[in-house]
Structure 1
Amino acid sequence: MGTPLGDFIRAKRDGIQPESLGLPDRGRRRSPGLRRLDLAARAGISVEYLTRMEQGRDRNPSVPVLNALADALGLDRSERDHLRYLAKITGGACSAGTRPAPARRDVRPSVLETLRLLEPAIAVVTNRLGDVLAHTSGYEALTSGTGLLDADPPNLTRYVFTDPRARSFFADWGDIADEQAFDLWLGPSVENAEWLTAELAPLAGPEFTRRLNRHVVPRRGELRLNHPDGPELRLNRETLDLSSDAQQLVVFLPVDERTAQAVDGLCHRSHGRLRAIS
């Protein structure tokens, strides 16, 4: 049985063309990408050790080995961070008696006060599982008519993968789907597994499972939305990481004047107030 760490290494290896590294063409092979032999040689480790890592039979690689693999695979900073994180949770899965705390669904009063001061701007607090924990009236106006907040409690990950309206609302649905799937790796592993197995995976189907296991590190660029009541909206996202709570506060800012005017119109039509859902 594989591990998240092994899956990530194998996925990155399969995505590299040997020619891009100046390696010779060794002819037709059964699977695409870089051979284990070539990656092991570039990283300075044995093929046998690399095989054990990819297959989940070695779950505690040293920091020098991880750094060597990151160099050999040409990982960028975000991908290196993900590699180290996967090594941590993969090794932790073998530690007896460890059980991460469940995801917090309550929002600290100081964070709620920050949201209140942001009104009527567009802002939301979520956890790594995608639970929408609190939001401003501006966020409610932005998502009105899309179904995102209809569930009780609302969850962005479930919405993206199971509600057909999400594919219309998010102009770049594939990028958002990759973001939501990736963030699940950063959530508490025990509750993650229970929630994924019991609820999300059966509803979301193979599209979700495929994206989850690809380990694509998202770039989180400009957000493009197709609001039911207006033109396409273009927004930048500023994220405040509430690491002690395993939550994040996201503020959405218009990219252009057209979006700013449309957002202003949506917010003026909304008579909602700051809402803490948890």
Structure 2
Amino acid sequence: MDELAAFLRTRRARVLPETVGIPTDARRRVSGLRREEVAHLSGVSVDYYVRLEQGRARQPSAQVLDALARALGLDGVEREHLHRLAHRPAHAPRRASAARPRPELLRVLDLVADAPAFLIDHRMTVLAANRLADLLYGRRLQGLNIARHVFLSEEGRALFADWEACTLDTVGHLRLSAGHHPDDPELAALIGELAMRSDRFRRLWVRADVRTRTHGRKTYQHPSVGPLEVHQENFALPDATGTELVVQSAAPGTAAHDNLRLLASLGATPAPSAGGGCPAEGGDRGGALPEEVA
């Protein structure tokens, strides 16, 4: 399926005509804008826009893409995604199956003693984690795929207090990642598995929403210490791997900070795996993996 064409169709369907000055009446049966209306608003010919939505027009100019983004009301992340879909090479290089974090990055994780912290790849698989992150998830976190945990496990659904918002973020992240890594077979297999096994994932995936998360609130409902509302910061590593350092902290004096301290005191070693329907379990941190994270 042509991802550019599908993305344009889903964005067109969500625009309310009245928000762009187009009057409507009871006879209108189209959800969102018509193709000719998008063409008129963006200043391109109707025939050319139709060919774009049918996957018959290749690599439109940056000016055309910016005009379409304005007409469709795309935000910054969606605009960048639109350009990427239009101009990505026909045969992008394949990604390595996994990344091995550098020892220096592992030391950074160990230095973050009072907050859960972990390294995550573009498929949302945890590459390494500190002790408090293991305790937060109630299991050895390395090797866990967060998307599987969110959609396919009862433990994951119970742990994330705002589960529905979490699913939106997860699907949006994977959509964006699929645009960055279109020829990654493991990412494609993960998306296919989630679509087969989760009705909610399948419904959200067809909306083609893309999201990026750099910081924000994350709320957990931990079975041992209760609610934990933390502030999450995502630090993208300065390379092309898509790996991020995720740190989740709470301000001193808050209930969440007290609960994190309580969680840290619960055990001297990471909690054993709770299973939870997520088969991707990792081994030791220093296990042999084919690629180093720069």
Among candidates 226, 229, 239, match of residue 224 of structure 2: 229
Q: Is 1:276 the counterpart of 2:285 in the alignment?
A: yes
Deviation at 1:243, TM superposition (A): 4.6
Structure 1 Cα separation of the partners of residues 112 and 229 of structure 2? 19
Structure 2 Cα separation of the partners of residues 86 and 3 of structure 1? 9
Question: Does the 8 Å CA contact 2:173/2:210 hold for their aligned counterparts?
Answer: no
Among candidates 191, 196, 208, match of residue 196 of structure 1: 191
- The match for 2:155 is 165
Q: 1:180 to 1:103 in 2, by over 3 A?
A: farther
The residue identity in structure 1 corresponding to 2:15 is I
The residue identity in structure 1 corresponding to 2:156 is A
The residue identity in structure 1 corresponding to 2:168 is D
- The match for 2:146 is 156
Q: Is 1:247 the counterpart of 2:243 in the alignment?
A: yes
Q: Which of the two has greater helix per residue?
A: 1
Question: Does the 8 Å CA contact 1:14/1:33 hold for their aligned counterparts?
Answer: yes
Question: Does the 8 Å CA contact 1:148/1:159 hold for their aligned counterparts?
Answer: no
Structure 2 Cα separation of the partners of residues 165 and 233 of structure 1? 16
Instruction: State the secondary structure of the residue aligned to 2:127.
Output: strand
Structure 1 Cα separation of the partners of residues 268 and 15 of structure 2? 52
Among candidates 105, 111, 114, match of residue 111 of structure 1: 105
5+ residue gaps in structure 2? 271-283, 288-294
Deviation at 1:20, TM superposition (A): 1.2
Deviation at 1:238, TM superposition (A): 0.8
Structure 1 Cα separation of the partners of residues 286 and 129 of structure 2? 8
Question: Does the 8 Å CA contact 1:18/1:34 hold for their aligned counterparts?
Answer: yes
Deviation at 1:18, TM superposition (A): 0.7
Structure 1 Cα separation of the partners of residues 147 and 190 of structure 2? 12
Among candidates 255, 258, 263, match of residue 261 of structure 1: 258
Instruction: State the secondary structure of the residue aligned to 1:276.
Output: coil
Deviation at 1:148, TM superposition (A): 8.2
Q: Deviations over 1:216-264 (max 9, x none)?
A: 2347431111111133211111111025232101000125701110011
Q: Is 1:217 the counterpart of 2:213 in the alignment?
A: no
**Structure 1 stretches of 4+ moved >6 Å:** none
Q: Is 1:41 the counterpart of 2:48 in the alignment?
A: no
TM-score normalized by structure 2?
0.81
Deviation at 1:277, TM superposition (A): 7.4
The residue identity in structure 1 corresponding to 2:256 is T
Q: 1:39 to 1:117 in 2, by over 3 A?
A: same
Of all paired residues, the percent bearing the same amino acid is 32
The residue identity in structure 2 corresponding to 1:252 is Q
Structure 1 Cα separation of the partners of residues 97 and 41 of structure 2? 39
- The match for 1:178 is 168
Structure 2 Cα separation of the partners of residues 50 and 11 of structure 1? 14
- The match for 2:131 is 137
5+ residue gaps in structure 1? none
Q: Is 1:99 the counterpart of 2:93 in the alignment?
A: yes
TM-score normalized by structure 1?
0.86
Q: How many residues align?
A: 265
